[in-house]
Amino acid sequence: MKSFNDYLVGIAKLLKTRGSFVQNFSIVFGGKSLAVILGIFITPILARIYSPEAYGLYAIYFALVANFSLVISLRLPMAFILATDEQEFKTILKVTMSFVLYLTVLILLMFLLWRVEIFDLFNAKKLNSVWYVIIIGTLLHAITSMLGSWNVREKAFKVSTTVALSEATTIKASNLLIGIKTAGNSFGLIIGDLIGKIVNLIFQFVFFIRNRSAYLIPCFSFKLQRETLSKHWKYPVILLPTSWIAVISNNLVIFYITYQFDISILGEFSMSSSLILIPVNLIANSSQPILMQRMVELNNDDKSIAIPLVKYVSTIIYGAAICCPLIILLSEPLISVFLGDKWQNTPQIIEVLSPTLLFQILFISLAGVLIALEKKERLFRLQVIRLLTLSVLFVTSNLLNLDFYQTIMVYSVGFSLLSFVLILNILKSIDALKSNQLIWPFISFISLCSITFLITR
């Protein structure tokens, strides 16, 4: 049996191994960690500058942009990593750019015709005066996401980490400067996001694309577009609906809160959710692209993926078993000290949402594994089940006339139970449950969270 020292020596060796999963993960995780540390220091200042309403408007903006930017790429960037040669990759990239432009024009026309009705639906009438930021944000998010997939294809994790850190720094700095200059203008957070994406593009061109900018010139040949879509039809036909349903499922709670309550309550929920999402973004979004790449390599070499996957999942669960109780215990004193009186309801929201942390990390990571293993149909079915179940939860909450706190309690419990079942289904489909090694990690997580929650009551 290996000693703890041997284990550390093994990790150190992998960190030095060029292109290993551990080295790639450490690079991305390190960059994300710096971005998180920056956010932790800046958020208390921003929370005192901007109102809950400003955060609510930003939540609506981001939810709409997330949905639109996903759709206009047709999910073709996910095919970058599977392209067998440079010419095929170049063709997919050019075709993707053409559809990004086509569909952005359609969204522009939609907002020209129906923007008043769209913003009224979400109780966000203030966005009527700056409706064009949705179009600009959609285009910028789609292109930067596409370039991120290009980074993954070439294993340019140092570049992607540098770009992401620069973007995060720019966003926070812009939010701070705009907030101070305008005394917390409601649109300051949105403008900061747009500036951050522009910086992302600049850094990608400087450090990564360089003399390959011709790759980004759209392909307007209908023949090439037809051939590319015919060859990679699963991405727009199966993976796009699957991913879109996932995004809608994640944003459903935002849409329901702003429709049923008001934009300020949404702002408090958004702040709470963003704090909970810090470890999700740090862990899941750092590991997913690298995990996907590793699963593709193992699968192509006919090696078992179950063992490394079980180890990854176990580590995440044990980490969450430590983090979630700490979040529950420390949220109230920390929020009251750092965020101020405007956010007095935030600690209670964080406590209720904390169990969802683990399941968001695991579901994001494992969904990427299914994509890498070409199990897109299974993922689509699971995402449909997820969306329908969450829709039933919110319809029930509406019929029972539940207040805001009752609603998020139902959402948290329902989301956690549903995600648990779906995660087990994913693990079973790739033979990762045979060893029963995940029983104790899950028991530890549930027990520690339950005990901590009961103590704080």
Interval 291-339: pLDDT, tens: 666 676 776 666 677 777 777 778 778 877 887 888 778 777 877 777 8
**Closest Cα partner for 284 from 380, 419, 417?**
419
Q: What residue type is assigned to position 338 of the chain?
A: F
Residue 98 and residue 186 share a domain: yes
For residue 238, report the phi and psi dihedrals to the nearest 5 degrees: -110, -50
Q: What is the CA radius of gyration of the chain?
A: 22
What pLDDT score does 155 carry? 81
Handedness of CA 321, 323, 324, 325 (dihedral sign): positive
Residue 265 and residue 385 share a domain: yes
**What's the number of domains the chain is made of?**
2
Residue 314 and residue 194 share a domain: no
Query: What tokens were used for 99?
Result: 């559809």
Calpha distance 205→37 (Å, rounded):
26
- In whole angstroms, how far apart are CA 275 and each of 176, 183, 221, 269, 332? 18, 23, 45, 10, 13
What pLDDT score does 2 carry? 44
245 is a domain residue: no
In this structure, are residues 277 and 35 in contact, taking their beta carbons and an 8 Å threshold?
no
What residue numbers bound the domain in which 369 lies? 254-457
293 is a domain residue: yes
What pLDDT score does 407 carry? 94
Residue 189 and residue 263 share a domain: no
Residue 356 and residue 223 share a domain: no
242 is a domain residue: no
Alpha carbon 298 to its chain centroid, in Å, reads 25
Residue 102 and residue 192 share a domain: yes
Calpha distance 203→197 (Å, rounded):
10
In this structure, are residues 355 and 280 in contact, taking their beta carbons and an 8 Å threshold?
no
| Domain end (from 173, 199, 232) | 232
8 is a domain residue: no
12 is a domain residue: no
303 is a domain residue: yes
What is the pTM assigned to this prediction?
0.82
Residue 165 and residue 104 share a domain: yes
Calpha distance 86→68 (Å, rounded):
28
Residue 222 and residue 101 share a domain: yes
In this structure, are residues 406 and 257 in contact, taking their beta carbons and an 8 Å threshold?
no
96 is a domain residue: yes
Handedness of CA 303, 308, 310, 316 (dihedral sign): negative
347 is a domain residue: yes
For residues 439, 445, 248 and 428, what is the CA-based torsion angle, rounded to 10 degrees?
-10
Q: Which residues of the chain have pLDDT under 50?
A: 1-4, 6-9, 11-12, 14-15
Q: Give the SS3 label for residue 185.
A: coil
